[in-house]
């Protein structure tokens, strides 16, 4: 279901689009299609000469059951190895050691901002996820359980400042709801990986709270709020020739993967093994 309470008027209004979906794969697909259908035309700071204007909406996506099948979309950027390494970067921090802005390397990782958020004047970094679990265990209905990513003293004016802004958690009827706010989200080339991995984080929080409380807390709805959900003009030919063409020619089953399918599980296992090998090589090579 798609609702557009604000329509673009002569290209002067950023459309505010709401998408509600039962699973992650369709939720992402419907959101990207909504961006294409309703997006305002606007330039970006990354355009090259003669690039078409991007299409852009403010997105409010609700996935009612983020672990319902099908969970993975076949048009996700990259492949299963890319998805797995991104999951490990965000969840496990496997590339936190790449952070070295003085040497013109990474300024931050999402894992570092979540698990070791440093603030000038504080002697120790803050593990925000631990704080979230503590807050939820003390009062599952709390409105204070959140992680913030933005650091205004570092990110303001930085060309590649963090897109992700915050996660907010609350438990309703023994279901953990998570709301993600992201200021800028590449709808076609990044958003699915973001959504997939962020819901993995939601699952981990639900498991940790379940263990602490001694009762099952299930994963509830996932809300993905993007201030700018956009498709870059430089992708238009690929997008129309692949994504839109697939929606017209292929069934939902042909456009998605089910993670409970044995073949998908084998592909995911092989991707995990390949990532293991790459990480070992990185450690041995020192780069």
Q: In the prediction, which pLDDT does 158 show?
A: 84
DSSP-derived pairing of the beta strands 218-231 and 54-63? antiparallel
pLDDT (tens digit, 9 = 90+) per residue, 171-200? Answer: 999 999 999 999 999 999 999 999 999 999
Residue 57 φ/ψ, nearest 5 degrees: -135, 160
d(C-alpha 123, C-alpha 100), whole Å? 20
Cis amide bond preceding 70, omega within 30: yes
CATH class of 2-285: alpha beta
Cβ proximity of 15 and 57 under 8 Å: yes
The reported pTM is: 0.94
Instruction: Give the separation between CA 47 and CA 54, rounded to whole angstroms.
Output: 9
State yes or no: pLDDT of 156 exceeds 90.
no
Query: Domain coordinates of the chain in residue numbers?
Result: 2-285
What pLDDT is stored for residue 264 in this prediction? 97
Which of 215, 219, 225 lies closest to 200, judged by CA?
A: 219
Residue 250 confidence class, pLDDT cut points 50, 70, 90: very high
Mean predicted confidence (pLDDT) in 240-258: 96
| pLDDT for residue 13 | 79
pLDDT (tens digit per residue) in 4-55: 555 555 555 789 999 999 999 999 999 999 999 999 999 999 889 999 999 9
Confidence of residue 283 (pLDDT cuts 50, 70, 90): confident
pLDDT in tens, 203-226: 999 999 999 999 999 999 999 999
Mean pLDDT of 148-157: 92
What is the pLDDT at residue 12? Answer: 53
**The pLDDT value given to residue 2:** 58
Please give the helix or strand (H or E) that residue 89 lies within, else none.
Answer: helix 80-91
Among 190, 185, 189, smallest CA distance to 238 is for: 189
């Amino acid at each position: 279901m798609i609702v557009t309470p604000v329509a673009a008027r002569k290209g002067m209004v950023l459309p505010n689009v709401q998408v509600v979906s039962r699973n992650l794969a369709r939720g992402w697909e419907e959101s990207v299609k909504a961006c294409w259908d309703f997006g305002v035309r606007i330039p970006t700071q990354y355009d090259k000469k003669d690039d078409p204007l991007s299409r852009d909406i403010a997105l409010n996506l609700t996935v009612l059951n983020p672990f319902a099948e099908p969970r993975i979309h076949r048009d996700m950027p990259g492949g299963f190895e890319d998805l797995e390494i991104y999951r490990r970067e965000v969840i496990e921090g496997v590339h936190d050691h790449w952070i070295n802005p003085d040497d013109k390397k990474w300024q931050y990782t999402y894992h570092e901002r979540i698990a070791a958020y440093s603030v000038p004047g504080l002697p120790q970094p803050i593990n925000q996820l631990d704080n979230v679990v503590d807050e939820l265990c003390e009062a599952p209905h709390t409105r204070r359980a959140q992680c913030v990513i933005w650091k205004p003293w570092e990110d303001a004016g930085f060309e590649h400042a963090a897109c992700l802004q915050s996660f907010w958690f609350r438990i309703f009827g023994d279901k953990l709801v998570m709301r993600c706010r992201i200021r800028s989200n590449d709808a076609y080339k990044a958003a699915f990986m973001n959504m997939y991995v962020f819901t993995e984080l939601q699952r981990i929080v639900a498991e940790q709270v379940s263990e602490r409380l001694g009762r099952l807390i299930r994963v509830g709805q996932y809300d993905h709020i993007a201030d700018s959900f956009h498709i870059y003009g430089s992708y238009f030919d690929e997008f129309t020739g692949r994504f839109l063409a697939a929606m017209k020619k292929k069934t939902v089953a042909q456009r998605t993967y089910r993670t409970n399918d044995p073949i998908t599980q084998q592909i995911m296992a092989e991707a995990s093994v390949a990532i293991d090998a790459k990480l070992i090589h990185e450690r041995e090579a020192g780069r």
